[in-house]
Amino acid sequence: MYRHFIKRLLDVLLSTAAILMLTPFWVIISAAIYISDPGPVFFTQKRIGLHKKIFYILKFRTMKVDTPHDVPTHLLENPEQYITKVGAFLRKTSLDELPQIFNIFVGQMSVIGPRPALWNQDDLVEERDKYGANDVVPGLTGWAQINGRDELEIAVKAKYDGEYVQRMSFWFDCQCFIGTVLRVLRRDGVVEGGTNTLNQEKEYAEK
């Protein structure tokens, strides 16, 4: 009942409320992004969704318009030079992820679930197949995010995602949500450009 109806209902209610409440705040962020570096306020990125179907995730743009096309962030020469001042703040506070509320509203994502893999993260997708984690709606945040986030090895992250699938419930989602808020406030577990400093996620530039 929770997985197939209540969870989606909560996603619609929460995303609708967030869109209405945060619109003035988003206008301020959008203006700051444009003033910092004139150009599109948002950017989209291919991600793996439910049953491994491709969808486009929405984010606030944090990098300059002239950032090289289709180059992994960690392979850019001095990638910090491409991140705007406003963008650096948005990344540190995870505010760049806020537009994904629209992905939640239309049903491509859930508030809580495994973070959607990048389209080229075959290793993570393969590992998640072992646990059935590709057969649930991906989330804005999830169990792996509060247990290490970008610091986790691929195999460990997939195992946490599988654990989430097994334990999915209203109360477990509440636990993940509260844990995420605490980690964001502490800015824990964020490694720019990837999953683990040795196994970097193939995070693509915003172009």
- pLDDT tens digits, one per residue of 186-202: 766 444 444 443 344 44
CA geometry: angle 71, 77, 82, nearest 5 deg = 75
- pLDDT tens digits, one per residue of 32-75: 999 999 999 999 989 999 999 999 999 999 999 888 765 656 66
Half-sphere exposure of 154 (CA within 13 A, CB side): 18
pLDDT value of position 150? 64
φ, ψ dihedrals at 46, nearest 5°: -70, 130
Residue ranges with strand state E in the chain = 42-48, 54-60, 110-112, 139-141
pTM of the model: 0.85
Return the closest-CA partner of residue 112 out of 5, 9, 4, 11: 11
Q: What Å distances lie between residue 62 and 30, 97, 102, 159, CA to CA? A: 11, 11, 18, 30
- pLDDT tens digits, one per residue of 100-152: 999 999 999 999 999 999 888 899 999 999 999 999 999 999 999 888 766 78
Which residue type sits at 82? Y
Return the closest-CA partner of residue 96 out of 108, 84, 87, 107: 87
Give every CB contact of residue 107 below 8 A, 6+ residues apart in sequence: 8, 11, 137
Q: Provide the greatest CA pair distance for the chain.
A: 50
